[in-house]
């Protein structure tokens, strides 16, 4: 009884933070400013990717409302929200359901027809959600999908059945099964995007479904003579996604950190009177190059903040040398130029040694992992179930 009372009081104390996204016709409500802002940003990225894939534009007519309840609140009492989640719900589940609702609304408003239960809205939402949620599409200046798991499956001759992929989605959430499903949906969407006038093709695919065709029937009808002699829908799919999987680039967080450090330690400096007035100056030469200038302590502070952030993301062996770069910058900030040069050069040497050791360790770990753990181990139970199901007579 006491626990119930505490939950009720907690729900009353927590305010409801709302944000209206007029360009999306979406209202987001939660008891946390951070959650509200994060969901609003995710919704913007989902909507942008949906419109890009399908060639849609304009402001939706129907307004959606998404609510994350406060602790102790009952979802049954919230009759105003189109999407309602309990406090502490899985973030991937919220993202997928939001993406699905945005996509469903777009399709129904475009064609003025209701979507059926086994529509492409399921797999398309999974594909778009994965691109934004896991690959950061729209947040980063580059998009590097990682299809490594799928590539290893394909090399072993393991391909999803296209009809199963398009018509039967697993329970959404953070399970290995659902993440594998999202990966293959992403790859299939990439396969469709490689077709000429892909946005028009996908709109026609959806329109045929709205008039009663299954996703596979609609796809086969639209491909028509596009299938090579001897190919069927499954073989067309397998060849296409195998080719698409090789175009995804593996993203290395360490590579990203090194690239950011390279830019940080070679800032662009304005040097009047020279042919190239703007040029990059190595940080170790900064004190000498800017000897007649007043040091910009604010810029150095910003640099220190960036290095601190990178140190938190970096592997353990690289953290200490990164902190030593910050210590050297502190000397530069105090205009102690000789001390700065000495400490910065020492930090560079230590960082290079640590990086070489980190790369050796990473290489050994990868070799050991490849020997001891099959690359598809996280999905082993799912793949085993798929094999068993395929051998079971209907």
- Residue 386: enclosing H or E segment and its boundaries? helix 380-391
Q: Please indicate, yes or no, whether residues 176 and 28 belong to a single structural domain of this protein.
A: yes
Q: Please indicate, yes or no, whether residues 50 and 150 belong to a single structural domain of this protein.
A: yes
Residues in a beta bridge with 279: 269
pLDDT at residue 129 greater than cutoff 80? yes
Q: Please indicate, yes or no, whether residues 364 and 225 belong to a single structural domain of this protein.
A: no
| Measured distance CA(330)–CA(339) in Å, rounded | 10
pLDDT at residue 68 greater than cutoff 60? yes
Average pLDDT over residues 173-195: 92
By 3-state DSSP, what share of the chain in percent is helix, strand and coil, each rounded to 5?
A: 60, 5, 30
Q: What is the pLDDT, as a whole number, of residue 188?
A: 96
Q: Please indicate, yes or no, whether residues 90 and 239 belong to a single structural domain of this protein.
A: yes
Distances 369 to 134, 157, 244, 364, 373 between C-alpha atoms, Å = 23, 22, 26, 8, 5
pLDDT at residue 27 greater than cutoff 90? yes
Q: Please indicate, yes or no, whether residues 40 and 188 belong to a single structural domain of this protein.
A: yes
Three-state SS across 328-351? HHHHHHCCCHHHHHHHHHHHHHHH
Instruction: Write the DSSP symbol of residue 315.
Output: -
Question: Residue 279 sits in which domain range?
Answer: 253-372
Q: What is the pLDDT, as a whole number, of residue 250?
A: 45
What's the burial of 291, exposed, middle or buried (CB within 10 Å: 0-12/13-18/19+)?
exposed
136: left (phi over 0), alpha (psi -120 to 50) or beta: left
Q: Please indicate, yes or no, whether residues 61 and 210 belong to a single structural domain of this protein.
A: yes
pLDDT at residue 4 greater than cutoff 50? no
Among 245, 271, 288, the domain-final residue is: 245
379 inside domain: no
How far is the first Cα of the chain from the last one, in angstroms, to the nearest whole number?
A: 51
Q: Please indicate, yes or no, whether residues 271 and 306 belong to a single structural domain of this protein.
A: yes
Q: Please indicate, yes or no, whether residues 193 and 314 belong to a single structural domain of this protein.
A: no
For residue 341, the tally of other CB atoms under 10 A from its CB is 18
Q: Please indicate, yes or no, whether residues 277 and 237 belong to a single structural domain of this protein.
A: no
Contact call for residues 95 and 131 (beta carbons, < 8 A): no
Residues in a beta bridge with 270: 278
Average pLDDT over residues 166-189: 91
26-30 vs 268-270, strand pairing mode: unpaired
For residue 233, the tally of other CB atoms under 10 A from its CB is 15
Distances 122 to 103, 104, 119, 229, 257 between C-alpha atoms, Å = 9, 9, 6, 31, 35
Average pLDDT over residues 97-101: 95
Token pair in block for residue 376: 């598809």
| Measured distance CA(65)–CA(49) in Å, rounded | 20
Which has the higher per-residue pLDDT, 257 or 20?
20
The average confidence (pLDDT) of the chain is: 80
Q: What is the pLDDT, as a whole number, of residue 25?
A: 95
Confidence category of residue 380, pLDDT binned at 50, 70, 90: low
Instruction: Write the DSSP symbol of residue 191.
Output: H
For residue 53, the tally of other CB atoms under 10 A from its CB is 19
Percent of the chain at pLDDT exceeding 90: 34
Among 245, 276, 305, the domain-final residue is: 245
Token pair in block for residue 141: 């200046």
Q: Please indicate, yes or no, whether residues 96 and 178 belong to a single structural domain of this protein.
A: yes
Q: Please indicate, yes or no, whether residues 92 and 217 belong to a single structural domain of this protein.
A: yes
Instruction: Write the DSSP symbol of residue 284.
Output: G
Residues in a beta bridge with 349: none
pLDDT at residue 93 greater than cutoff 90? yes
Q: Please indicate, yes or no, whether residues 202 and 342 belong to a single structural domain of this protein.
A: no
Decide: helix, strand or coil at residue 68: strand
Q: What pTM did the predictor assign?
A: 0.62
195 inside domain: yes
Look at the chain and count its residues: 394
Q: What is the pLDDT, as a whole number, of residue 138?
A: 77
pLDDT at residue 9 greater than cutoff 50? no
Among 245, 262, 290, the domain-final residue is: 245
If one counts the domains in the chain, the total is 2
200 inside domain: yes
- 128-147 as b/e, with b when 16 or more CB fall inside 10 Å? bbbbbbbbebbeeeeeebeb
């Amino acid at each position: 009884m006491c626990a119930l009372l505490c939950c009720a009081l907690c729900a009353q104390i927590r305010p409801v933070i709302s944000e209206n996204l007029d360009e999306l016709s979406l209202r987001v409500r939660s008891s946390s400013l951070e959650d509200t802002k994060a969901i609003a940003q995710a919704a913007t990225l989902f909507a942008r990717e949906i419109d890009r894939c399908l060639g849609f534009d304009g402001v939706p007519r129907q307004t959606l409302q998404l609510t994350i309840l406060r602790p102790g609140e009952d979802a049954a009492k919230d009759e105003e929200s189109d999407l309602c989640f309990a406090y502490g719900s899985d973030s991937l589940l919220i993202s997928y359901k939001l993406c699905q609702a945005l996509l469903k609304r777009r399709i129904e408003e475009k064609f003025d027809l209701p979507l059926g239960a086994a529509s492409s809205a399921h797999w398309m939402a999974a594909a778009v959600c994965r691109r934004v949620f896991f690959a950061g599409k729209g947040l980063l200046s580059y998009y590097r999908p990682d299809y490594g798991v799928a590539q290893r499956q394909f090399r072993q001759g393991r391909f999803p059945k296209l009809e199963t992929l398009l018509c039967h989605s697993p329970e959404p959430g953070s399970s290995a099964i659902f993440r594998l499903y999202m990966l293959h949906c992403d790859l299939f969407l990439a396969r469709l995007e490689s077709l000429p006038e892909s946005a028009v093709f996908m709109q026609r695919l959806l329109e045929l479904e709205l008039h009663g065709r299954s996703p596979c029937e609609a796809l086969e009808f639209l491909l028509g003579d596009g299938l090579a002699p001897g190919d069927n829908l499954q073989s067309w799919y397998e060849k296409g996604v195998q080719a698409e999987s090789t175009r995804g680039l593996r993203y290395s967080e360490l590579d990203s950190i090194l690239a950011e450090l390279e830019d940080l330690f070679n800032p662009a400096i304005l040097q009047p009177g020279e042919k190239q007035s703007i040029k990059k100056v190595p940080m170790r030469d900064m004190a000498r190059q800017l000897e007649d200038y007043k040091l910009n302590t604010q810029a150095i502070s910003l640099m220190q903040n960036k290095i601190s952030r990178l140190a938190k993301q970096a592997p353990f062996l690289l953290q200490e040398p990164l902190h030593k770069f910050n210590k050297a910058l502190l000397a530069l900030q105090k205009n102690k130029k000789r001390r700065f040069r000495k400490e910065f050069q020492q930090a560079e040497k230590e960082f290079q040694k640590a990086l070489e050791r980190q790369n050796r360790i990473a290489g050994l770990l990868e070799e050991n992992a490849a020997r001891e753990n099959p690359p598809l181990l996280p999905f082993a139970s799912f793949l085993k179930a798929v094999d068993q199901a395929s051998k079971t007579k209907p």
